[in-house]
Amino acid sequence: MSTLEDRANEVNLYLSKFITKSPKIARFLDEPEESCIDIAIWENMPSEGLATILTIDLSYHPLFTWDGEPYTKERVELMAVCGIPDIDFMTSIMSTCAFCVINSKWFSVPGSIFHDVVSMYDNKLNMKHILFDFPWIHAEFLSTANIGGVQTRWLMVVPISESEFQYAIEVKSANALSEKLDENHINICDFNRPSVI
């Protein structure tokens, strides 16, 4: 894994074993234009009117724990599903999450919550924050895989409300929140869905 482009090619090669359709690739730069992230977009997947969105080179970058220690067990990529009209909105959210990992060294594992990442783009929506969860869409190939010698985990980007965030804090368990979301069969594509708490 010598360059960012090499990593994107490795991840794309892995994905092409499962997705025959070529994606649209969008590149995002941070404000100083020092870091970039490439995001692949497949429209009408997993079904008509929806889009599957994946980062493809976030796993080039190492992870660090909240204590600042290197996390060598695995690296991550992000995935999301949204309505086609919300692609630009979701890719902006995902790029911000990615830059929080790359530049600010925010720890990203299942159960991590990135605060205010949705509301920084639109504070009128019911959903405000992002919970990273195990993928339950495309789980057959978007879980963990050894790609180019790097153990790579996909994290599903799940928008959550303020009350859902507070619930996870109160019970000290993002996993408990994830179970609540699952029990209520939330529509992860709806940024204005009713809160389950």
Q: Chain-wide mean pLDDT for the chain?
A: 95
What does the domain layout of the chain look like in residue ranges? Answer: 4-183
Please write the tens of the pLDDT for every residue from 36-57: 999 999 999 999 999 999 999 9
In this model, does residue 1 exceed pLDDT 80? no
> Residue 100 pLDDT > 60, yes or no?
yes
DSSP per position, 4-68 = HHHHHHHHHHHHHTT--SPPEEEEEE-TTS--EEEEEEEET-SSTTEEEEEESSGGGSPEE-TTS
Tokens of 30: 């941070």
Q: Give pLDDT tens digits for 148-182.
A: 999 999 999 999 999 999 999 999 889 899 999 99
The predicted model gives 132-150 an average pLDDT of 93
Q: Indicate the length of the chain as a whole number.
A: 197
Of the candidates 124, 134, 138, which has an alpha carbon nearest to the alpha carbon of residue 191? Answer: 124
| Confidence (pLDDT) at 189 | 95
Q: What ranges make up the beta strands (E) of 31-167? A: 36-43, 50-55, 63-64, 70-71, 75-83, 113-114, 127-133, 144-147, 150-161
pLDDT class for 23, splitting at 50, 70, 90?
A: very high
Q: Give the Cα separation of 146 and 70 in Å (integer).
A: 19
